[in-house]
Chains A and B, each alone.
Chain A
């Protein structure tokens, strides 16, 4: 049995883990172990062969593998030790990691600090409970993406896609390009949950219909999927059975949401946030166990990888400061509350006082699409601290605001983000 000790252990070598490793080394940590379960670095970016990544971070447009490779080259050239094909099976509250792989067998790794960067999972048929038989041909959009883009298999020829999340839209185009007939994308909500540009480029370009307010209420087929019943839903999302229509298909792709990968976070007893569905963190992406950080999609499902890299760097600098005992807590933590119209805000609280930073960047999602709104921020005595205008907000697109450090008061227990009509707030 192998026992190792490292200053910093990073779990997951996708965009979050890679950026965290580089930033931690830059911040002076030179004993870093990066653990990845796949046989290559880069994570899901490697199967996202489409372009659209990196404009924010690199100022140019890249594909997923190109974005990943820029970090991979630097990580390989760095002092960071890398373990591929290695699975972490447990983390204890005192930061002891149990991991295993073919070569080393079981490993026990002690860490001063841990960064969780395991990404997220796709919701499956089971999560949305579609009735019917259980034939082959029903898979998540991300699984289909891996089959087509990495392994070289086309999963089917006549395709229906449920859910208008980005991966669903991207896969509609990908399957159409590879010669499959994509019969349509169904979205139960009255609006697409994917980025607008994907709706334009992936559906409109290929004449693939997007059916809003639609879902699937039955699956047919014994060995292989043969057909699905599609049905319109009413405003309570209940099927209007008179609209039911059978559509022949051999493949059903599900793009019905992503949830942070919480298995390890749960097993180590981290406090989770119901609204963002991942660990509960402060502005340094520190969980409720000091020295344990979460960043990237394991924390909140991002739609820009650029923000993942940025968030990982925040966590990595904090981990370095933690290892070097370099942080000053506030007397009183400030909780960040999602109010009316806001689904969640990251960070969930502000724990540190740091006059050297001018701003604390907040990420949030709204609960419904709206135009000409203000995001107003109030303290616990309903005093307005700041207001930020937005022409358009939608749940499919993460919003960010930079809250000036000097506006975060010392004498409030919480600040609340509220979505209000334009005109109600003060100017930024």
Chain B
């Protein structure tokens, strides 16, 4: 046996509410085995979480002249965990004008990650008409 100890980490996959407990075996920081996942997303997630933990950031941004005062947004891709604070600060300074459509890009390069923030709900312009959105 070599001196390089085999480590086992349990990483809880957060891709879906199932929350698979994925077991990652590693030696010298290199992954040697992944088990316990129910789909391939579990493998990718465990690899990422082991090396470079990232999160999708869902939050809200203020809206001007909208039927609601806020539009929910998210980062289009996961951003590094340690950029979440900076991203929140940046989004606090943004005000978008209604109408907003789901998928609209709110900002292109959040916290210098190169990742877009997109609207997750359509917000109609504030008017007397009752649109269904």
Chain A residues with a Cβ under 8 A of chain B: 39-41, 46, 49-52, 55-56, 61-66, 68-69, 72, 76, 82, 84, 148-152, 177-178, 195-197, 200-201, 205, 303-304, 392, 397
Contact = CB atoms under 8 A, between A and B. Distances in A.
A37 to B, nearest CB: 14
B59 interface: yes
Contacts of A150: 68, 70
Contacts, number: 89
Contacts of A68: 121
Contacts of B62: 152
B59 A55 contact: no
Query: Could you say which of A150, A177, A303, A392 has the most chain B C-beta atoms within 10 Å of its C-beta?
Result: A177
A56 B16 contact: yes
A309 to B, nearest CB: 14
Contacts of A64: 72
A76 B55 contact: no
Given A84-B130, A196-B19, A177 B84 contact: yes
Interface stretch (B7-15, B24-32, B107-115): B7-15
A50 B132 contact: no
A93 to B, nearest CB: 32
20 contacts: A49-B60, A51-B56, A61-B15, A65-B120, A69-B121, A72-B132, A84-B130, A84-B132, A148-B60, A150-B68, A152-B60, A152-B70, A177-B57, A177-B59, A177-B84, A195-B17, A195-B19, A205-B55, A205-B81, A397-B19
A372 to B, nearest CB: 13
Interface string B53-80: 0011111101000001110101000000
A49 B59 contact: yes
A56 B38 CA distance: 12
B126 interface: no
Which 4 residue pairs across A and B have the least CB separation, nearest first? A65-B121, A55-B16, A49-B72, A197-B14
Nearest to B41: A55
Nearest to A199: B12
A197 B12 contact: yes
B133 interface: yes
B81 A49 contact: no
Interface string B92-133: 000000000010000000000000000011100000001011
Given A72-B132, A152-B70, A200 B120 contact: no
Contacts of B55: 201, 205
Given A61-B56, A82-B132, 10 more contacts: A49-B120, A62-B120, A64-B72, A66-B120, A84-B130, A151-B69, A152-B70, A177-B59, A200-B12, A200-B14
A33 B17 CA distance: 32
Contacts of A63: 58, 72, 74, 120
Contacts of B69: 151-152
Contacts of A72: 132-133
Contacts of B17: 52, 55, 195, 197, 303-304, 397
Contact of A55 (B12, B15, B70, B121): B15
B34 interface: no
Contacts of A40: 132-133
B60 A76 contact: no
Interface in B35-61: 55-60
B29 to A, nearest CB: 21
Contacts of A49: 58-60, 72, 74, 120
A152 B123 CA distance: 14
Nearest to B62: A152
A49 B72 CA distance: 6
B70 A196 contact: no
B74 A149 contact: no
A148 B57 CA distance: 15
Nearest to B72: A49
